[in-house]
């Protein structure tokens, strides 16, 4: 991609993760062209477009159980829909979320964000007071699983928790991978107390870190899964995919819908999502994600063992990777700047801001991975801890 001055960059973020299949994928562009001649805007879910109905049916069919879908425009929208569904279903106000978790910044979503305090503090007095946080289980920290599940048990003992919200791998929180068994233990516990388990697959899902549903592959049995980012292939669309029994709590609308918005299920966004799913489901894309992810992981693992580079940790799962640098946020920002000057776009992440976060598209070539690794090596040497 190029900036306003014509400088060309390799986008190692895939536009915050949305362009998993690459920017401006021809199949998505063709679908948009066709849809733009048919219908730009319909009446949300009152008189929906055919393509919105088709997208909802397709997502429901992809779900691990009989499902219903609420579409949204952003990841945060999907989280809001999920939180409302849990309240309707359980009639309980409490929400359990995780420290370091990121779910978007609208009021409902920011209230369940355990990410940076700065995101919450100015609004703290207006945020949902029924949210409590447990430590996330980081597979690299000894005893973290027990500590996390212990906190989950204590929260459940309060008796008012109706929703549990978790990322299968914390993305923005610094690419934190939980140990095997964490997600399944969480779903067992949620079931035991009758809480709705909401899995936020907005970053991890749709093959970025494995299958369509990363958490399900990890042995978890969620009640609601939220998708976004890669779903629209670059257009704004998200989905709250709900197990039928849980979704039934919305009842049959016999008057005005109590959860909707003007652009919900926008036909262009839905057409882009249908095309994006075609590409994501193709064996070629899945091979590309695996191969590119492995190439990137190899390159990062080589850098990680060079003590001169000041890397304290490298984590990678598919096309989601984090490089923690010594020197904190000041150094990670300086390295990010140095990388931009060398033609590579990346983002800082992690609660302390010291994790260079990589969520590249699957179209990244071997030469681009090699060029990126060389540039990162040079940038880390140039910016000392
Ligand atoms: C896991 C996760 N959930 C939710 C969101 C919020 O998505 P959006 O920015 O589209 O509202 C993000 C965004 O980075 C995310 O990473």
144-172 pLDDT, tens digit per residue, is 999 999 999 999 999 999 999 999 999 99
pLDDT band for position 66 (cuts 50, 70, 90)? very high
Instruction: Give residue for tokens 């008012």.
Output: 160
CATH number at residue 187: 3.40.640.10
309 and 207 assigned to the same domain: no
Q: Is the pLDDT of residue 314 over 90?
A: yes
Q: Is the pLDDT of residue 252 over 90?
A: no
> For atom 7 of ligand 1, which residue has the closest CA?
75
Tokens (6 digits) for 171: 């993305």
DSSP 3-state of 280: helix
DSSP 3-state of 27: helix
303 and 217 assigned to the same domain: no
Which of 219, 250, 281 is the endpoint of a domain? 281
Q: What is the pLDDT of residue 132?
A: 97
Q: Is the pLDDT of residue 255 over 90?
A: no
180-222 pLDDT, tens digit per residue, is 999 999 999 999 999 999 999 999 999 999 999 999 999 999 9
Centre of ligand 1 to C-alpha 202, Å, is 6
> For atom 2 of ligand 1, which residue has the closest CA?
103
103 and 252 assigned to the same domain: yes
Kindly give, in sequence order, each residue whose CB lies less than 8 Å from that of residue 316, ignoring residues fewer than 6 positions away: 175, 293, 296, 297, 300, 322
Neighbours of 11 (CB within 10 A): 18
- Mean pLDDT across 223-248: 98
126 and 70 assigned to the same domain: yes
Residue 129 sits in which domain range? Answer: 26-281
Tokens (6 digits) for 293: 């992810």
Q: Is the pLDDT of residue 253 over 80?
A: no
Kindly give, in sequence order, each residue whose CB lies less than 8 Å from that of residue 332, ignoring residues fewer than 6 positions away: 325, 348, 353, 354, 355, 356
Number of domains observed in the structure of the chain:
2
Strand 311-317 and strand 344-345: pairing?
A: unpaired
Q: What is the pLDDT of residue 320?
A: 98
Q: What is the pLDDT of residue 375?
A: 98
**151 within domain boundaries:** yes
DSSP 3-state of 380: helix
Q: What is the pLDDT of residue 4?
A: 84
Determine the atom of ligand 1 nearest the C-alpha atom of 79: 4
How far is Cα 247 from Cα 234, in angstroms, rounded to an integer? 28
> For atom 13 of ligand 1, which residue has the closest CA?
104
83-116 pLDDT, tens digit per residue, is 999 999 999 999 999 999 999 999 999 999 999 9
Does the CB atom of residue 208 touch ligand 1 within 6 A? no
Are residues 12 and 372 in contact, defined by beta-carbon separation less than 8 angstroms? yes
Centre of ligand 1 to C-alpha 268, Å, is 21
pLDDT band for position 333 (cuts 50, 70, 90)? very high
Would you put residue 210 in left (φ > 0), alpha (ψ -120 to 50) or beta? left
Determine the atom of ligand 1 nearest the C-alpha atom of 201: 1
Q: What is the pLDDT of residue 6?
A: 84
- Mean pLDDT across 236-246: 98
Q: Is the pLDDT of residue 1 over 90?
A: no
109 and 226 assigned to the same domain: yes
Are residues 28 and 275 in contact, defined by beta-carbon separation less than 8 angstroms? yes
Q: Alpha helices of 263-282 — where are they, by DSSP H? A: 267-281
Are residues 320 and 171 in contact, defined by beta-carbon separation less than 8 angstroms? yes
119 and 229 assigned to the same domain: yes
Element (H, E) at 264: none
Q: What is the pLDDT of residue 5?
A: 84
- Mean pLDDT across 167-180: 97
């Amino acid at each position: 991609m190029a900036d306003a001055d014509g400088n060309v960059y390799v986008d190692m973020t895939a536009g915050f993760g949305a362009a998993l299949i690459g920017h401006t994928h021809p199949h998505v562009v063709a679908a948009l062209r066709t849809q733009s001649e048919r219908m730009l805007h319909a009446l949300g879910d009152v008189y929906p477009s055919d393509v919105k109905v088709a997208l909802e049916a397709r997502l429901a069919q992809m779900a691990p159980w009989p499902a219903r879908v609420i579409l949204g425009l952003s990841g945060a929208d999907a989280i809001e829909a999920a939180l409302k569904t849990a309240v309707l279903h359980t009639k309980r106000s409490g929400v359990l979320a995780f420290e370091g978790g990121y779910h978007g910044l609208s009021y409902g979503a920011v209230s369940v964000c355990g990410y940076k305090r700065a995101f919450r503090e100015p609004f703290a007095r207006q945020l949902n007071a029924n949210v409590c946080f447990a430590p996330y289980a980081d597979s690299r920290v000894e005893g973290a699983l027990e500590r996390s599940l212990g906190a989950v048990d204590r929260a459940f003992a309060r008796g008012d928790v109706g929703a549990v919200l978790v990322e299968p791998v914390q993305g923005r929180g610094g690419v934190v991978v939980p140990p095997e068994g964490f997600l399944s233990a969480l779903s067992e516990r949620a079931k035991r107390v009758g809480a709705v388990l909401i899995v936020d697959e907005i970053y991890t899902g749709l093959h970025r870190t494995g299958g369509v549903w990363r958490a399900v592959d990890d042995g978890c049995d969620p009640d609601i899964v939220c998708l976004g980012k890669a779903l629209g292939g670059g257009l704004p669309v998200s989905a709250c995919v709900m197990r039928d029994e849980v979704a039934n709590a919305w009842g049959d609308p016999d008057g005005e819908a109590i959860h909707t918005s003007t652009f919900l299920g926008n036909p262009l966004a839905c057409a882009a999502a249908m095309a994006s799913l075609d590409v994501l489901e193709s064996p070629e894309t899945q091979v590309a994600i695996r191969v590119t992810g492995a190439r990137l992981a190899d390159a990062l693992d080589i850098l990680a063992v060079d003590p001169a580079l000041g890397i304290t940790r490298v984590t990678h799962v598919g096309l989601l990777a984090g490089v923690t640098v010594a020197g904190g946020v000041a150094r990670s920002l300086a390295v990010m700047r140095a990388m931009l000057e060398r033609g590579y776009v990346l983002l800082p992440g992690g609660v302390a801001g010291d994790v260079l976060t990589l969520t590249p598209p699957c179209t990244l070539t071997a030469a681009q991975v090699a060029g990126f690794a060389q540039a990162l090596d040079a940038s880390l040497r140039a910016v000392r801890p």
